[in-house]
Amino acid sequence: MRVTERVQNLEYAIRDVVGYARELEKKGKDVIYLNIGDPVSFDFDIPEHIKEALIQAVKEGFNGYSPSEGTLELREAICEKEKKIGGINILPENVIISNGVSEGIQMILGALVEKGDQILVPGPAYPPYISYAEFFGGEAVQYRTSEENGWQPDLDDIRSKITDKTRAIVVINPNNPCGALYDKNVVKEIADLAGEFNIPLISDEIYDQLAYDESLSTASVAKDVPVIGLNGFSKVYLMTGWRLGYVYFYSEDDKNLKELREHITKEARIRLSANTPVQKAAVEALRGPQDHIRRMVEKLRKRRDYSHKRLNEIDGISCAKPKGAFYFFPKVDGIGSRWKNDMAFVRNLLEKTGVLFVHGSGFGTAYGSGHFRGVFLPPIETLEKTFDRLDHFMAST
Ligand SMILES: Cc1ncc(COP(=O)(O)O)c(C=O)c1O
Largest CA distance in the chain: 62
- d(CA 206, ligand 1 centre) in Å: 6
pLDDT at 157: 98
Lowest-confidence region among 50-59, 209-218, 302-311: 209-218
Q: How large is the average pLDDT for residues 278-304?
A: 98
pLDDT at 16: 76
- d(CA 149, ligand 1 centre) in Å: 24
pLDDT at 253: 77
Specify whether 168 is located in the same domain as 83. Answer: yes
Specify whether 251 is located in the same domain as 352. Answer: no
Specify whether 215 is located in the same domain as 76. Answer: yes
Specify whether 96 is located in the same domain as 238. Answer: yes
Coil, strand or helix at 142: strand
Asked if 152 and 323 count as a contact pair (C-beta separation under 8 A), the reply is: no
Instruction: Decide: 172 in ligand 1 pocket, CB within 6 A.
Output: yes
Residues 6+ apart with CB under 8 A from 1: none
Specify whether 163 is located in the same domain as 267. Answer: yes
| Mean confidence (pLDDT) of the chain | 95
Residue 298 has pLDDT above 90, yes or no: yes
Specify whether 207 is located in the same domain as 146. Answer: yes
At position 269, the amino acid (one-letter code) is R
pLDDT at 262: 94
Specify whether 18 is located in the same domain as 59. Answer: no
Using pLDDT thresholds of 50, 70 and 90, give the confidence band for residue 18: confident
Specify whether 300 is located in the same domain as 380. Answer: yes
Specify whether 371 is located in the same domain as 358. Answer: yes
- d(CA 202, ligand 1 centre) in Å: 14
Lowest-confidence region among 65-74, 251-260, 370-379: 251-260
pLDDT at 255: 75
CATH number, residue 30:
3.90.1150.10
Select the more confidently predicted residue: 120 or 36. 120
Instruction: Decide: 37 in ligand 1 pocket, CB within 6 A.
Output: yes
CATH number, residue 53:
3.40.640.10
Q: How large is the average pLDDT for residues 153-176?
A: 98
Asked if 102 and 128 count as a contact pair (C-beta separation under 8 A), the reply is: yes
Transcribe 22-53 into DSSP letters: HHHHHTT---EE-SS--GGGTT----HHHHHH
- d(CA 230, ligand 1 centre) in Å: 9
The residue among 287, 310, 340 that closes a domain is 287
Specify whether 95 is located in the same domain as 225. Answer: yes
The residue among 263, 287, 311 that closes a domain is 287
Using pLDDT thresholds of 50, 70 and 90, give the confidence band for residue 17: confident
Q: Which has the closest alpha carbon to 245: 188, 206, 287?
A: 206
Residue 282 has pLDDT above 80, yes or no: yes
CA dihedral 199, 360, 293, 102 (to 10 degrees): 50
What residue's CA is closest to ligand 1, atom 4?
101
Specify whether 169 is located in the same domain as 182. Answer: yes
Domain with 178 in it: 48-287
Specify whether 106 is located in the same domain as 32. Answer: no
How many separate domains does the chain show?
Answer: 2
d(CA 328, CA 137) in angstroms, rounded, equals 32
Q: How large is the average pLDDT for residues 138-142?
A: 97
Instruction: Decide: 176 in ligand 1 pocket, CB within 6 A.
Output: yes
pLDDT at 9: 78
Q: How large is the average pLDDT for residues 44-56?
A: 98
Measured from the Cβ of residue 144, the count of other Cβ atoms closer than 10 Å reads 19
pLDDT at 350: 96
The residue among 287, 306, 322 that closes a domain is 287
Using pLDDT thresholds of 50, 70 and 90, give the confidence band for residue 185: very high
Per-residue pLDDT tens over the stretch 188-239: 999 999 999 999 999 999 999 999 998 889 988 888 899 999 999 999 999 9
Q: Which has the closest alpha carbon to 173: 151, 205, 127, 134?
A: 205
